[in-house]
Amino acid sequence: SVNPDLASERQTASFSVEKLTVLLDGGTEQTRIRRAVVEAIESDPVFSRENQYFQTQNERYEAAVRKAVHLQKKMHEMGWTENGPEYKYIYRALSGDVAFLLHQVFMRSISVLGSDKQIAKWIPLATQHKLIGSYAQTELGHGTYLQGLETTAVFDTATQEFILNTPKISAMKWWPGDMGRSATHTVVFAQLYIHGKCYGIHPFIVQIRSLQDHSLCPGITAGDIGPKMNFEHIDNGYLLLKNVRIPRENMLSKFCEVRPDGTYVMQGSQKINYFTMTTVRISLISDEVLTPLMKACTIAVRYSAVRRQSKLKPGEQEAKILDYQTQQEKLLPQLAAAYAFHFTNGYLQELFNRGYREIQRKNFDMLPELHALSSGFKAVITQHCTAGVEICLRACGGHGYSLLSGLPSLYTKILASCIYEGENTILLLQTARFLIKCFMAANTGQPVPPSVTYLAAVKHRKCPAKNKLDFLSPDIYTEAYQHVAVRLTSSTAAKLQDLIQSGVKKHDAWNQCTVQLVQAAKAHCHYIAVKNFAETVEKLETKAGIQKIMKHLCDLFALHGIFSNTGAFLHDGYISAAQMDMVTASYLDLLAVIRKDAVPLVDAFDFTDKSLNSALGSYDGQVYQRLYEWAQKSPTNQMSPAYEKYLKPLLHNTLSKL
């Protein structure tokens, strides 16, 4: 039975929830396939996530391996293939709770970096799981700055082998997933030396564990790096190499080869590689970043519709916490952001598909823009969504703090996305470097990529809004965002030039501008996200109330951004104080409007109870029953393990020497 406080929220939806779900999926056929995959996975007890919050790191790891192995069988049974339409929904249906993800990366790196001969040898072995692969790049002392990696691979012409070593502790490989306990092979990135000369970082296939009994190979020290804030199910590992010899054929050699005599030969272009890196950053947005935020919103909004606390009106029943303006101000902007970035993700995917087609035609012109967008949006979206999940957690008070709410795990997992695949600050500075370069080019009349042509365009000097309703016009707020992005880019470019002209060295000048460069990069991405949301809404069909509610969310996303960062818009008077008061008024009005549809808006994300795995967020809103039922299953609900040894002697006053 559905909690009546939740049921009543659904009766007044202003739009068709099912139609919105289909829109998010990209079509009815996609919705059908997704639901079929979810149903198949969730009805299979091997994939169960029940009791997950009670498990140790060891238990979580074992379950993830079990699921990965079972998944092979399941795919075979269901007729799902890696190129089929179902594939992309599997990981989501498993909530990412599965091992051997690095095995995929191992295979991809061989496909991309290996010669045809290497691909022919290794890919079938990997596909049939005759080995388990990993990917060993990061070291204890080196992450983002790849040139700094210290692992060495010295070519020995006498034996036609590479000799791999970890010269010092900071060179130890650290973090590779699946490597701590599962992998038999890995791709090691190391500095290549031939006849004493360093040729930089190259990838080598190294066997680390016996295929017979899984014992470590000679010269290999490897293990698990221990507990992390989340990802208990993954055996992130360390690897120490001592005079490990591998055949010459194990250096991945699509782009560079070492001949038997030690001659180093470069071949082809590595630009495609550069592109691969940028696509990874985009590909993680959907499953690793948007899904957790959507889940957190679902949990927090449903809970806020059934939790009653204090009285809003004297003499009445206690109010739903969703009726408090402060609660709306916490949750609804996160909901708007989830929708906004869902559409941003679509925009980026489309752009990257176009880029890929161009690259296949050997046209690499789009690469710098794609790199800047993927870096900037990876940073902005992960940052925004991580903050959003934390807000949802805190908005649920004490119950949000219980692991059983599901929110702590969502938070501790999404937090990692701010760090992996490029630390966010460094990525934003990559975007900023592109912006500054394009700004300079645009202002000297040179052509620039489409996403940054606005940097040269002359626009209004003042926002033309006359009343609060004007701020519900996408033209008005999109231009305001554009104005701020241009202002921050141009003022930072000017500061940079001033410093250099005053004699500061270029790299010092750059460092002294980085705080402001980061602001400019964020403003650029925020502008594009707002613009894209507004354009998407414009194109939606007007039926079934979908366009109307999406327009509200777009307005909220835009106005929340202004309200939370008023200084950027007030600084040069583009928005006046009086206009900012209009923004605030419109923003607060919108909260009350969207609040009415809050539950239908999270229902449209279409998460099953099993995928939410939350005592607070289930479809029926039976929060207290579920918390109590789940708590009773906790392994801490046995007689106190401290009783005989400590409590009893204390209470019976028989503690020795007290």
Going by the annotation, the residues of the binding site for FAD are: 138, 177
Q: Of the two residues 550 and 575, which places its CB atom closer to its own copies in the complex?
A: 575
How far apart are the C-alpha atoms of 47 and 173, rounded to whole Å?
Answer: 31
- Which candidate in 421, 538, 541, 644 is catalytic? 421
How far apart are the C-alpha atoms of 301 and 279, rounded to whole Å?
Answer: 32
Of 209, 148, 221, 159, the residue nearest 182 (C-alpha): 209
How far apart are the C-alpha atoms of 201 and 193, rounded to whole Å?
Answer: 10
Please give the backbone phi and psi of residue 277, each rounded to the nearest 5 degrees, phi first: -55, -40
CB of 113 to its own copies, least distance (A): 23
Q: Alpha-carbon Rg of the chain, whole angstroms?
A: 28
Q: Of the two residues 139 and 369, which places its CB atom closer to its own copies in the complex?
A: 139
Catalytic residue at 479? no
CB of 588 to its own copies, least distance (A): 6
CB of 73 to its own copies, least distance (A): 6
How far apart are the C-alpha atoms of 499 and 565, rounded to whole Å?
Answer: 27
How far apart are the C-alpha atoms of 630 and 415, rounded to whole Å?
Answer: 26
CB atoms within 10 A of CB 395: 24
Angle between helices 577-595 and 325-360 (to 10 degrees): 90
How far apart are the C-alpha atoms of 291 and 402, rounded to whole Å?
Answer: 20
Q: Of the two residues 157 and 512, which places its CB atom closer to its own copies in the complex?
A: 512
Q: Of the two residues 248 and 595, which places its CB atom closer to its own copies in the complex?
A: 595
Q: Of the two residues 4 and 26, which places its CB atom closer to its own copies in the complex?
A: 4
CB of 124 to its own copies, least distance (A): 13
How far apart are the C-alpha atoms of 341 and 382, rounded to whole Å?
Answer: 10
Q: Of the two residues 142 and 531, which places its CB atom closer to its own copies in the complex?
A: 142
Q: Of the two residues 90 and 256, which places its CB atom closer to its own copies in the complex?
A: 90
Contact of 499 with 512, CB cutoff 8 Å: yes
Instruction: Supply 270's token pair.
Output: 């590595």
Contact of 85 with 280, CB cutoff 8 Å: no
Please give the backbone phi and psi of residue 445, each rounded to the nearest 5 degrees, phi first: 80, 5
CB of 425 to its own copies, least distance (A): 5
Q: Of the two residues 71 and 546, which places its CB atom closer to its own copies in the complex?
A: 71
Strand, coil or helix: 239 = strand
Q: Please list, in sequence order, all residues whose beta carbon lies within 8 angstroms of the beta carbon of residue 630, skipping any fewer than 6 positions away.
A: 53, 404, 615
CB of 238 to its own copies, least distance (A): 6
How far apart are the C-alpha atoms of 106 and 100, rounded to whole Å?
Answer: 10
Of 94, 84, 182, the residue nearest 133 (C-alpha): 182
Please give the backbone phi and psi of residue 207, each rounded to the nearest 5 degrees, phi first: -85, 135
Instruction: Supply 627's token pair.
Output: 């918390």
Which residues are documented as binding site? 138, 177
**How many Cα atoms occupy the beta-carbon half-sphere of 218 within 13 Å?**
5
CB of 98 to its own copies, least distance (A): 12
Q: How far apart are the first and last CA of the chain?
A: 56
Angle between helices 546-563 and 325-360 (to 10 degrees): 100
Contact of 404 with 455, CB cutoff 8 Å: no
Between vectors from CA 563 to CA 561 and to CA 568, what angle results, nearest 5°? 75
Between vectors from CA 608 to CA 605 and to CA 611, what angle results, nearest 5°? 100
Q: Of the two residues 371 and 413, which places its CB atom closer to its own copies in the complex?
A: 413
Cross-strand pairs, 244? 164
Active site residues: 421
